[in-house]
Amino acid sequence: MKIALAQLNYHVGNFENNTKHIIENISLAKQKGADIVVFAELAICGYPARDFLEYTDFILLCENAAQEIAKHCVDIACIVGLPIKNPLIEGKDLYNAAYFIADGKIQNIVKKALLPTYDVFDEYRYFEPNTKFECVNYRGKKIALTICEDLWNINDNPLYVSCPMDELIKESPDVMINIAASPFNYRHDEDRIQVLADNAKKYKLPLFYVNQVGAQTEIIFDGGSLVFDETGEVKAEMKYFEEDLQVFDLDEIQNVKNKYPAPERASDISQIHDGLILGIQDYFKKSGFSKAVLGLSGGIDSAIVCALACRALGAENVMAVLMPSKYSSDHSVKDALDLVKNIGCKHEIIEIKEAANAFDNMLAKPFTGLAQNLTEENIQARCRGIILMAMSNKFGYILLNTSNKSECAVGYGTLYGDMCGAIGVIGDVYKTQIFEMARYINRDSEIIPENTIVKPPSAELRPDQKDSDSLPDYDILDKILFQHIEMQKGSKAIIAQGFDEALVKRILKMVNLAEFKRYQTPPILRVSPKAFGMGRRMPIVGKYMD
Residue 406 marked in a binding site = no
Backbone angles phi, psi at 79, to 5 degrees: -115, 125
Distances (CA, A) of 447 to 128, 299, 310, 402: 51, 13, 11, 17
Residue 300 marked in a binding site = yes
Residue 155 marked in a binding site = no
Kindly name the residue from 30, 41, 235, 286 that is annotated as catalytic: 41
User: How many whole angstroms separate alpha carbon 465 and alpha carbon 329?
Assistant: 11
User: How many whole angstroms separate alpha carbon 161 and alpha carbon 144?
Assistant: 20
User: How many whole angstroms separate alpha carbon 3 and alpha carbon 356?
Assistant: 64
Kindly name the residue from 73, 78, 135, 148 that is annotated as catalytic: 148
DSSP 35-104: SEEE--TTTTT-S--GGGGG-HHHHHHHHHHHHHHHTT-SSSEEEEEEEEE-SSSSS-SEEEEEEEEETT
Contact 229, 235 (CB under 8 A): yes
Residue in 81, 53, 50, 82 with CA at minimum distance from that of residue 523: 50
Distances (CA, A) of 162 to 93, 150, 169: 22, 9, 13
Report H helices in 232-368.
250-255, 268-287, 300-313, 330-343, 353-362
Contact 224, 254 (CB under 8 A): no
Q: Is 29 exposed, middle or buried (0-12, 13-18, 19+ CB in 10 A)?
A: buried
Contact 526, 535 (CB under 8 A): yes
- Which helix (H) or strand (E) segment is 510 a member of? helix 501-513
- N residues, the chain: 546
Beta bridge partners of 177: 145, 208
Residue 182 marked in a binding site = yes
Residue 350's identity, in one-letter code, is I
- The gap between the terminal CA atoms of the chain, to the nearest Å, is 60
- Residue 356 sits at the vertex; the CA angle it makes with 350 and 361, to the nearest 5 degrees, is 145
Q: In the annotation, is 112 catalytic?
A: yes
Q: In the annotation, is 41 catalytic?
A: yes
Residue 222 marked in a binding site = no
Residue 299 marked in a binding site = yes
Q: Give Dmax over CA atoms of the chain in angstroms.
A: 88
Kindly name the residue from 30, 111, 112, 291 that is annotated as catalytic: 112
Which one-letter DSSP state was computed for residue 201?
Answer: H
Residue 267 marked in a binding site = no
User: How many whole angstroms separate alpha carbon 503 and alpha carbon 524?
Assistant: 27
Handedness of CA 19, 22, 28, 31 (dihedral sign): negative
Residue 517 marked in a binding site = yes
Residue 101 marked in a binding site = no
Residue 298 marked in a binding site = yes
Binding residues: 118, 182, 295-302, 378, 402, 407, 517
Binding residues for ATP: 295-302, 402
**Catalytic center residues:** 41, 112, 148
Binding residues for L-glutamine: 118, 182
Binding residues for deamido-NAD(+): 378, 407, 517
